[in-house]
Amino acid sequence: MLLQAENISKTFFRDSGSSNYFYAVSPLNLDIASGTLTVLMGRSGSGKTTLLNMLCGILQPTEGRVLIDETDLYSLNDAALSRLRNERTGVIPQGRSAVDTLTVLENILLPSKLYGKTVPTEKAVHWMRELEIDHLADAFPKELSGGELRRMAIIRAIVQDPDVLFADEPTGDLDDENTDRILSAFSSLARRENKAVFIVTHENDAVKYADRLFRMEKGRLEPSSPA
């Protein structure tokens, strides 16, 4: 599997400033292949999340194309793109990302239920045990701490067995022990299960797991050395 960003950029409009349009992401090319863990670092507001959103198919670039195995994501209609997102990508967004009316286990299994796929309950239970939230299976999101919610979102993305896993500040709410556990799991997904993992973070913890490292500054992407 190969995810390719071809000359993609994103401009936004704002009222203030000398120019009304500004580049959140300047034109860039990027390849993300199976079996690699790619880390993108940068300060807040540097355009990391905007890039991730474009890559995972929820934000159309102003220019350029995003391809997964030759399929141009943004040439698809909404139904097809949504289905592709469901079947081939897993996204761990920033902050809370739970459906409040569903229990933790229901939230985790929701993506497979959305299209009537086989529900990976055993896999979900395994990961819940692994990340120590198995006792919260029947709890509702409002009863969970930030860290527990984050782990729930991570499991939800992993258990669908996606080709590409996108994680936006995945360890933001986690302690050191859980941070290591999650990053190890991501690394294992890339190396053992041949998944493509793309992590966006402003913390240095993920660097040691990275196969490829990039930095982003004011919308510009610069390659960096993992070591």
Partner 1 sequence: MKIFPLSMKNLVRKPGRTTALVLLTGFLAMAVFGGSVIILSLRTGLQSLEARLGADIILVPSEAQSKVSFQNMFLQGTTGAFYMDASVTDKAMEVAGVEKAAPQTFLASLKADCCSIKIQVIGIDPSRDFTVQPWIARSLTGELGDMDVVVGCKVEAGIGEIIRIYEQRCKVAACLEPTGTGLDTAVYCNMHTMDNLLAAAEAKGVSHKISSGDDTVVSAVYIKVKDGYDIDTVNTALTGKLRKVTAVRTRSMITGVSDSLAGISRTVTMMIVVIWALAFIILLLAYILIVRERSREFAVLRLIGASRSMLSRMALLESAICGLTGGFAGSAAAAVGVFSFSALIENSLGLPYLIPGFGTILLLAAGTILLSIAVSALASAFAALRLSRVNPGTALREGN
Shortest separation between residue 211's beta carbon and partner 1, angstroms: 25
Distance CA(216)–CA(223), nearest Å, equals 9
Query: Which of residues 102 and 207 has its CB atom nearest to partner 1 in the complex?
Result: 102
Do the beta carbons of residue 167 and residue 154 sit within 8 Å? yes
Query: Which of residues 77 and 225 has its CB atom nearest to partner 1 in the complex?
Result: 77
Shortest separation between residue 24's beta carbon and partner 1, angstroms: 11
79 binds partner 1 (CB under 8 A): yes
Relative to beta strand 196-201, strand 37-42 is parallel
Query: Which of residues 10 and 212 has its CB atom nearest to partner 1 in the complex?
Result: 10
For residue 8, the one-letter residue type is: I
Distance CA(192)–CA(6), nearest Å, equals 28
Shortest separation between residue 113's beta carbon and partner 1, angstroms: 6
Tokens standing for 157? 């993305």
C-alpha 153, offset from chain centre: 10
86 binds partner 1 (CB under 8 A): yes
Binding track, positions 87-126, relative to partner 1; x by CB under 8 A: x---x-xxxxxxxxxx---x---xx-xxxx----------
Query: How many CA atoms, within 13 angstroms, populate the side-chain half-sphere of residue 191?
Result: 9
Query: Which of residues 18 and 44 has its CB atom nearest to partner 1 in the complex?
Result: 44
Phi, psi (deg, nearest 5) at residue 76: -80, 155
Query: Which of residues 17 and 116 has its CB atom nearest to partner 1 in the complex?
Result: 116
Could you identify the residue written with the tokens 């729930």? 152
Do the beta carbons of residue 28 and residue 9 sit within 8 Å? yes
161 binds partner 1 (CB under 8 A): no
Q: Name the residues that contact partner 1, by CB under 8 A.
A: 49-50, 53, 58-59, 78-79, 82-83, 85-87, 91, 93-102, 106, 110-111, 113-116, 140, 156
